[in-house]
Amino acid sequence: MIEKKIKKEYTNGEVTVIWLPHLCNHSSICLLKLPNVFRLHKRPWIDINAAQTAQIIDVVKQCPTLALDYYMNTEKVDGESIIGVKERSGIEFPSEDSSENLILQNEHFPMVEIFKNGPLLIREKIKIIYDKETSVTSEKATSFCRCGLSKKQPYCDGSHINQPFE
């Protein structure tokens, strides 16, 4: 079954927060750190105006799966405002009217993270091969279930939160 990939954006004019729910492993970092911004039972669930931009960016950077990301709406280059995007992946996306190529700013090192009593997280674009005919290419990060309770195997769906394991 292929899951519909939703992308939502929330802006306060200075920063835009991107939410990709299919990447979320329900770590709850956002809910715990900024509950006035990330409101689980309200719609829209992100109130981008409920905190300072710097606070929002700090919490978004802590998202372990990149389900939350952000970009600044305007940046200044040589005193001139341009539309620009710098995602946490380290890739700078030039403005639309720019002929510059993409610049990889960070050296590339694969990262696999094991969360205590939680999922295995691979922070890479990877290809997952199910069998000879079926494969899926992931986004920037993929959470794999380690508890065995996920209904979206092999992916984590946050089931470990309700039934802890070690």
For every residue of 48-88, DSSP letters joined together read TTSS-HHHHHHHHHT-TTSSEEEEES-EEETTEEE--EE-T
Q: How would residue 110 be classed by pLDDT, with cut points 50, 70 and 90? A: low
Q: Which of 61, 77, 104 is the last residue of a domain?
A: 104
- Answer yes or no: is 166 within a domain: no
What is the pLDDT at residue 100? 38
Select from 89, 84, 65 the least CA-distant residue to 73: 84
Query: How many domains does one find in the chain?
Result: 2
For residue 153, give its domain range.
112-161
Q: How would residue 34 be classed by pLDDT, with cut points 50, 70 and 90? A: very high
What is the pLDDT at residue 104? 38
Same domain, 132 and 154: yes
> Quick one: which H or E segment has residue 32?
helix 29-33
Q: Each residue of 86-101: pLDDT tens digit?
A: 344 343 434 444 333 3
Q: Supply 104's token pair.
A: 């990889």
What is the pLDDT at residue 90? 40
What DSSP state is assigned to residue 155? B
Decide if pLDDT at 35 tops 90: yes
* CA dist., res. 20 & res. 97, Å (int): 27
- Answer yes or no: is 131 within a domain: yes
Decide if pLDDT at 142 tops 50: yes
What is the pLDDT at residue 40? 87
* CA dist., res. 131 & res. 93, Å (int): 35
- Answer yes or no: is 99 within a domain: yes
Same domain, 52 and 98: yes
- Answer yes or no: is 3 within a domain: no
Which CATH number do you get for residue 69? 3.30.70
